[in-house]
Structure 1
Amino acid sequence: MNISSIFSYPEDAVACVSSAGSITYGELYRRSENLAKHIVACRASRVIVYGHKEYSMIVAYVACLRAGAAYIPVSPAQPVSRRKAIAAQAEAGLVLCAVGRGFAGAGEIRTENIVALSENPPEEAVTLPEEIDDDVLAYIIYTSGSTGEPKGVKATRRNLNNFIDWIDRAIPLTDEMEGNVLNMAMFSIDLSMVDIYYALTHGRALVTTTSEQQQHLSDLYPHITESDAVLMVITPTMAEFLMRSGRFKREMMPKLRVIYLSGESLHPGTVRRLLQRFDEDLMVFNAYGPTEATCNVCAAQITDDMCDDRLPVGIVETAATEIRIMQGDAVLAPNDEGEIVLIGDSVTAGYGRGESGGYCTIDGKPALRTGDIGFITEDGRLFWSYRKNSLIKVNGYRIEPGDVENHMCHIKGVTGCGVVERYGHLVAYVTLNREMTPGQVRAAARPHLPSHMIPGIVRIVDALPMTENGKLDRDRLE
């Protein structure tokens, strides 16, 4: 499987369903070819694609891949200041808009509407490249930098082809398992690559979900029922949100076979509840990988018998790239905790402004020191522990919030947890599926946590706040 796999499906099959309409594979092929010729004609090597989750954004992505130009997704949900910062850094030669023709920060950059421009090819004859080098950029996705300025992660076609090949092997759906692929993540977030490229390279329909639909279960439940999904890609926080009502179960999604979870630490209780809601036909996967390594590099199927302990984030043997646990230049033995280091074709081409970050070379190959701490067991399972820079200090102790959250979710009745430091105290915000007082939650934490890691304050909430990309929003825990 690779980029070319997109172009091998029946033209009458549906490729994408969005709030703005739908498009077949035949129309996707036609419009993306026309649009690719316009991109080549204006000599744009980088293209900003502006929109939420309209089907025309998929047309623009495919067109850029056909033209050998890097697409740069930007969302209206991002603050105007961030959009302007991306436009200032991107060095784009063209802005393609899914809605209207406007984009804050575009300045003198040519701006066009995707649907209008893709209707017809340029008047002058344009030939699309027959072969495009693997080192040509496929996309640039902007992440949050430590300075507050967005950082562009540059991924090559080699990176993307490697990811497509891996995700084909990682998600064990067969042709007999009919159904669509349900998208939740913003297109400007790399997690969306899982659903976008799995759908397009397998001839399935990608069904997108707007941010408005994700705000209320009364809107979200009918949408996911109508999605006819066999695969759903979500964050653990979104999984907990869906399970706030007992309605989220097999009857709501009869074709669902795979729930693919990534982006956050996954609690065993979340998996156990998902498996209880559905049946033995459901497969739950826990995946790991940073944006700098082309979205995800490994995944592990999680079964009910694994939910009494911490969960693996991948299987090293089947990973998209080489994974080592290192301390400095030394490779650590199995079960020893150290930094997760990725080596090989998953590692992207660096940041847009040339910052080094964790990028390096090991054994002559591109490598990434992720800043994530974890270990590999003797049987080759990868476990994530915490991030180097996420520790908080309370009463002289350095504490990893994710570690506390994981253990709090082992308490019977606790379905979700977010931990922060407030005024020198460790504060846990928890969601429950049974009646408990804050004191009872703290008392129940004693068998699971050492005394210095038991939250001094417990606050019970109806739901944990989510960011636009479906992750726990710690800044809104108050």
Structure 2
Amino acid sequence: MTAISPRRPADAPRQLSAPQTSLYANLEVSANRHPEKAAILYYGSTVSYRQLRSEVDALAGFLQQHCGVARGDRVVLYMQNSPQFVIAFYAILRADAVVVPVNPMNRAAELQHILEDSGASVAFVGEELMAHIRSLPGGRVNHVISARYADYLRDQTDLPLPEVLTSSAGPWPHAESVDGHTALIAWKDTLLSACVPRGHEAKPEDLAVIPYTSGTTGRPKGCIHTHWSVMHSTVACARWPNLANESVMLCSVPLFHVTGMQNCMNMPIFIGATMAIMTRWDATCAAYLIERHRVSTWVTVPTMLIDLLNLADVDQFDLSSITYLSGGGAAMPQAVAQQIQARWGVPYVEGYGLTETMAATHINPPKQSKQQCMGVPIFNTSSLVVDPETLAPLGEGETGEILVSGPQVFDGYWKSPEATRDAFVVIDGKRYLRTGDLGYVDRDGYFFVVDRLKRMINASGYKVWPAEVEAMLFEHPAVQEACVIATQDARRGESVKAVIVLRNGEHATEEDIVSWARERMASYKVPRVIQFADSLPRTASGKIQWRLLQEEETQSRNAQSERRRLD
């Protein structure tokens, strides 16, 4: 069956020509153009583009000459947001090697899997994460370069600092071994070596980054991205809203994740903008940074904006410098989007992407945004909605699986040929990635996510998409956040359960929520069970871990059934 090409807003650009170079070349160009400009603002201290490039080159030389890193080698980057993360990322690329970013929330077992799977023999590790490296079996890596983030706090500041920057640390050991095999090297010693790297050889088709998926359907899998796929996404992030190099960007989302990596690091370096980096999220600190540095661009997740808006003294801060506000990962509640528009006069521009696509495949046109919408396909990108079982393309308004094809799509999963084959499908001669997300396209060519393919709740044969119920629950005046999961039901098979966080100072009972919901949604969608919580579990990138809540619910129900059986 022939694919249906959805229409597109008139002002949505279609084509993009990205540089045919390595990512490191972006830093080289910006450092040559703006050597004294602030590349990084870090809690009141500054790193210029000249210093950034100088330290990147010295570190790349150290990797090559002291750690034996060669072209194509994988190097693990296991740190929180910091100047060192940016420097290490580009040093790995400058050494013609491949960055393997690791979630700093990962612990020893998860870290061990990624080290073994990627084959990395060198790792950059934040000082506070060293305990997890030390607990690994011996011989996993040959060299560990450990960084103390506070070393880049070179000026006094009155900003609220995260504990990792204020906790006391002992003097750096020298020539230490982690396990009798792995050499531990202090960050500052790598720079003092003043090594000169070999000529840069990486080409657009060479591997650049292997980010790992969250592992929700098994062990995490590495996504193979070349300099070309990352470059296309990097340039698109800048060109879609036409950001200028005078932009100051608040970097509050994790840099290990593709959203932060692309929008808060690679993109600003490409255009020569300034990054205001936060190691840990703190709404009050974010408000100070926006006001003091006249932050103009903030790519973030809805939860951070909700935190900021809920500050008791938010109106005491001048946040008027923000001209572009964007994000993805979770739908922005309509009520919050309207509040943002009313307060700051700017829309929250939603987008959509995956680790497999190195961030965005769809973004809303800045001047024609639709709320709770993933937007339209970006430059050089095609997208279809198909029947998940037959793969037949569907028409306007019909819900099916979203497929994407474009330069930013990964080459496949690292050392997983079977998973790679399952991830793609060919329609009309074009190779598409199966996203696993359900959605539809409207008459204007805008795409909307309904839910994850595997998250559907089946209540007496009626299909319930949790994201839809969550969006409606957000409209309740007492609800700050909600996560909808399935709960077992003897009669219906499954019923809807909502885990709810109430706003500060608000009160509501289970009966209040259910009664309110009955007036606003179909009966089969109404939550039959309400659980109140102080907070919802999240990933480091800010996404609610609905699978964790679902697993806890399933285990609890199974335990109850077993007790009834024994009684």
For the aligned pair, the TM-score class normalised by the smaller chain equals 0.7 to 0.9
Task: Output aligned runs, 1:72-111, within 5 Å.
Answer: 72-99=100-127, 102=130, 103-104=133-134, 105=136, 107-111=140-144
Matched, 1:388 2:456: no
Equivalence for 1:312: 373
- Selected match of 2:330 from 264, 271, 274: 264
Equivalence for 2:342: 276
Equivalent residue letter for 2:302: P
Matched, 1:290 2:368: no
Give me the TM-score of the superposition, normalised by structure 2: 0.74
CA distance in 2 between partners of 1:250 and 1:68 (Å): 48
Give me the TM-score of the superposition, normalised by structure 1: 0.87
Equivalence for 1:116: 189
Equivalent residue letter for 1:431: L
Matched, 1:343 2:405: yes
Q: Does the CA-based 8 Å contact 1:75-1:187 persist in structure 2? A: no
Change (3 A) 1:101 1:239: closer
1:100 is displaced (CA, Å) by 8.5
Unpaired runs of 5+ residues, structure 2, are 1-17, 146-185, 490-494, 554-567
Change (3 A) 1:415 1:335: same
Equivalent residue letter for 2:251: N
1:147-195 CA deviation, whole Å, 9 max, x = no partner?
A: 54221111111111110121112234345xx552111222222221211
CA RMSD of aligned residues (A): 3.0
Q: Does the CA-based 8 Å contact 1:335-1:376 persist in structure 2? A: yes
What secondary structure is seen at the aligned counterpart in 1 of 2:213? Answer: strand
Equivalence for 1:17: 41
CA distance in 1 between partners of 2:187 and 2:295 (Å): 27
1:432 is displaced (CA, Å) by 4.2
CA distance in 2 between partners of 1:169 and 1:296 (Å): 12
- Selected match of 2:528 from 437, 440, 456: 456
Q: Does the CA-based 8 Å contact 1:237-1:472 persist in structure 2? A: no
1:253-273 CA deviation, whole Å, 9 max, x = no partner?
A: 231112212111222112112
Equivalence for 2:423: 358
Equivalence for 1:427: 497
- Selected match of 1:326 from 372, 377, 386: 386
- Selected match of 1:199 from 268, 290, 293: 268
1:440 is displaced (CA, Å) by 3.1
Task: Output aligned runs, 1:156-175, within 5 Å.
Answer: 156-174=226-244
Change (3 A) 1:82 1:304: same
How many pairs align? Answer: 464
What secondary structure is seen at the aligned counterpart in 2 of 1:374? Answer: strand
Unpaired runs of 5+ residues, structure 1, are none
CA distance in 2 between partners of 1:163 and 1:304 (Å): 21
Change (3 A) 1:260 1:250: farther
What secondary structure is seen at the aligned counterpart in 2 of 1:30? Answer: helix
Equivalence for 2:26: 5
CA distance in 1 between partners of 2:26 and 2:229 (Å): 15
Q: Does the CA-based 8 Å contact 2:58-2:194 persist in structure 1? A: yes
Equivalence for 2:209: 139
CA distance in 1 between partners of 2:129 and 2:374 (Å): 42
1:418 is displaced (CA, Å) by 1.6
Equivalence for 1:233: 299
CA distance in 2 between partners of 1:187 and 1:464 (Å): 22
Change (3 A) 1:171 1:249: farther
What secondary structure is seen at the aligned counterpart in 2 of 1:419? Answer: strand
Q: Percent identity?
A: 22
1:116-148 CA deviation, whole Å, 9 max, x = no partner?
A: 3234443xx753235x32221111111222454
1:276 is displaced (CA, Å) by 2.0
1:370-393 CA deviation, whole Å, 9 max, x = no partner?
A: 111112223211111111111234
Deviates more, 1:92-101 or 1:467-476: 92-101
1:413-450 CA deviation, whole Å, 9 max, x = no partner?
A: 54432212345452221434865544333222234311
Q: Does the CA-based 8 Å contact 2:364-2:370 persist in structure 1? A: no
CA distance in 2 between partners of 1:21 and 1:80 (Å): 32
CA distance in 2 between partners of 1:227 and 1:371 (Å): 40
- Selected match of 1:151 from 206, 209, 221: 221
CA distance in 1 between partners of 2:330 and 2:104 (Å): 24
Equivalent residue letter for 1:138: A
Q: Does the CA-based 8 Å contact 1:98-1:114 persist in structure 2? A: no
1:319-363 CA deviation, whole Å, 9 max, x = no partner?
A: 452111223443322322221111121210111121224134555
CA distance in 2 between partners of 1:20 and 1:189 (Å): 25
Matched, 1:28 2:52: yes
Equivalent residue letter for 1:294: M
Equivalence for 2:160: none
What secondary structure is seen at the aligned counterpart in 2 of 1:259? Answer: strand
- Selected match of 1:183 from 244, 247, 251: 251
Equivalence for 1:368: 433
Deviates more, 1:372-381 or 1:1-10: 1-10
